[in-house]
Amino acid sequence: MIIKVLGPGCRNCQIVYENVLKAVEELERTDITVEYVKEPSEISKYVMVTPGLVIDEVVEHEGKPLPSVDVIKEMIINEEYDFSDGESSGGCGCGGCGC
């Protein structure tokens, strides 16, 4: 899994970057690569407002409010499941909530 934090390096972007690193650490995931993308031409390929957060080429967040560590952990966990076949990994069986 590749997570990209998009932003020019401002304080809010740095907070999101730090939150991503903490979320990955708390989940004890060694298979995740975290990139901090600061190049405007690369950022504009994904979002119009920073900070942005992209997981495996899917935009998960743009702008404010800034996602917390817990919200980012949920994004990572939910991104692991492919619900395109309508199957859930457990929980309620709805096929989309990731419970």
- Which residue among 10, 92, 94, 97 is the active-site one? 10
Check: CB of residue 32 under 8 Å from CB of residue 3: yes
Question: Can 13 be counted among the known catalytic residues?
Answer: yes
The partner residues of 35 in beta bridges, in order of sequence, read 4
Active site residues: 10, 13
